[in-house]
Structure 1
Amino acid sequence: MTRRLVQLVVGLWLYGATMALMVRAGLGLDPWDVFHEGVTHHVDLTFGQVVIVVGALVLLAWIPLRQRPGIGTVANVLVIGVAADVTLAMLPEASTLALGVLMLVTGVVGNGLAGAMYVGAGLGPGPRDGLWTGIVRRTGASVRIVRTGLEVVVLVTGFALGGTVGLGTVLYALTIGPIVQLFLPWFEVREATAAEPAAA
């Protein structure tokens, strides 16, 4: 459990930090971050604070879906936003296109690594992932349709609010799944069985 908790917190912090890296790259964000950034143009909150508030509101939507959060779900709401704001405070915007591309690619790969870490810890999904899995479970609808539909709505709304859509949005959509899949076997924690004692 100690390993799982450490992996969870490190993964969530890295996730928030790489979100900030993509923001500073200025070349486009993933759908939810397009929405988060768009909201910051209309409220007196930082990017990380918006991430926390949106995560908490999405978590409330779990109630009618009868989804049960884990410790990782609650940590997701709190840690990622704080990490994003801390990193944004230290990181300047990309001064050249080449630097922006480097920051973007590093951010996307790092985000995939971070996602594999916190998912692999097995302590509960993030609020946004739990939303679509809950809808699928309750309605029996296709995973592809539900997840894609949610992300399209979030992306379009975020863009309308002024969020950044660009190369990074496309790159993230095309590569984040394979990147997480690549790293997940490194971090996936298997539950010990009766015949297989947990490692100390």
Structure 2
Amino acid sequence: MKPAQDAIPDSNPFELFEEWFALAKESEPNDPNAMALATATPGAAPSVRMVLLKGHGPDLGERGGFIFYTNAQSRKGGEILANPQAALLFHWKSLRRQIRIEGPLEEVNGQMADDYFHSRHPDSQLGSAASDQSRPLDSRETYLHRVEELRAEYEGREIPRPPHWTGFLLTPTRIEFWHDRAHRLHERRQFNWSGSGWSSMLLYP
């Protein structure tokens, strides 16, 4: 009997990502754009947290990429500025699929950060402006009070983007697609950037 053919095609990884992401939008009940972001200190101590993908595609940067936004004064922001490389992980449990992405990071330009910041709900803008992210907080009431103070200060006016609130573009050097199969006979295809284009290979599960 012939073995089953590989179901993960050897195609452009951005096109394949778009196909899987579209399926996730249909099946995931909450935040299909949620992804684990792993960073590390200059001493190689890792940390990971969930963030939201806010832009992606082959036309971003020099060869395409994935964008997220954060407070650059947070723990992850400090790690990114000190060691600008990261790994992303999408896990769509309902689809039994995951995608791993690795590569260097660079800050988006100020106009992109402004545009996205002001596209958010006003309360989200206020929450970001009021937060000293990752720093000690004596009580939740202190934070909420700061939000209300800013709400009163900017009533009827545009809320300025804090200079430390920005976005980062990950330019992938490696993208791996994983598809769960019965009895752990999973499928994995890894795409690697060589400088002249993408190549891919299958990996043992």
Name the TM-score class by shorter chain: under 0.3
Larger of the two Rg values belongs to structure: 2
Q: Give me the TM-score of the superposition, normalised by structure 2.
A: 0.23
Q: Give me the TM-score of the superposition, normalised by structure 1.
A: 0.23
